[in-house]
Amino acid sequence: MKAAIGISVHTGWGACVLAGGSPARPEILFNEVIRILGDDERFCFHMAAEMNPAEAGRWIARIRRKAIRNARKALAPFAKRARVCAIVAKLGEPGALAEVLASHPRIHTAEGCFYRDVLREASPVPARIIPPSQLDISGIGKLAPPPWGRDQKLAAAAAWVALQRSSRWRRGVCATRWP
């Protein structure tokens, strides 16, 4: 069966679903919350803001490597059955590290981008970013045991979009990111 990984990104974790079928005939094969970084490290840009610039850069690089390792390990069980991965996250970039650390709103943006990009790099299959605004979850009911909420519905919807578009991605028709 064709299946896709869908991940709704949060700071340090993600709601991860392996979905097959379609919204009309849904199949949820896995439904887990994956941990990328623990509570003592997950707000990595907030922590970096308390450091000098050189130390902050090294800290973010080190924590990124750790986050990628953890994400790869967490996604490994999904890899055997998935053909594509859809990451539910906003598009955009936070800017240079010095600019990020000087602005609390940018710190939050940077953390969102950080986890989105960690998951994209760690994905064992081709990964695409889908903004949550492009997903309609209003028709998705309870398809799996807890946890099953808004995040899991977004992840499942993204997975079904990814399955639908995956053949076009392989042929190079679709861009790496939407829109």
pLDDT, tens only, 137-164: 999 999 998 899 999 999 999 999 999 9
Residue 175 has what pLDDT?
36
Mean pLDDT throughout 92-115? 95
Residue 167 has what pLDDT?
60
Which DSSP state fits 177? B
Residue 178 has pLDDT above 50, yes or no: no
Taking a C-beta distance cutoff of 8 angstroms, is the pair 177, 128 a contact? yes
Taking a C-beta distance cutoff of 8 angstroms, is the pair 25, 104 a contact? no
Domain segments of the chain: what residues? 3-170
What is the fold, at CATH topology level, of the domain defined by 3-170? Nucleotidyltransferase; domain 5 (3.30.420)
What global pTM score does this model have? 0.89
| Cα 124–Cα 75–Cα 94 angle in degrees, nearest 5 | 80
For strand 26-35 and strand 84-88, is the pairing parallel, antiparallel, or unpaired? unpaired
Q: Please list, in sequence order, all residues whose beta carbon lies within 8 angstroms of the beta carbon of residue 26, skipping any fewer than 6 positions away.
A: 19, 140, 143, 156, 160
Residue 139: phi and psi, rounded to 5, are: -95, 5
Kindly calculate the radius of gyration of the chain based on its CA atoms and give it in whole angstroms: 16
pLDDT, tens only, 13-39: 999 999 999 989 999 999 999 999 999
DSSP 102-152: T-HHHHHHHHHHHHHHHHHHH-SS-EEEE-GGG---TT----SSSS-SHHH
Residue 165 has what pLDDT?
86
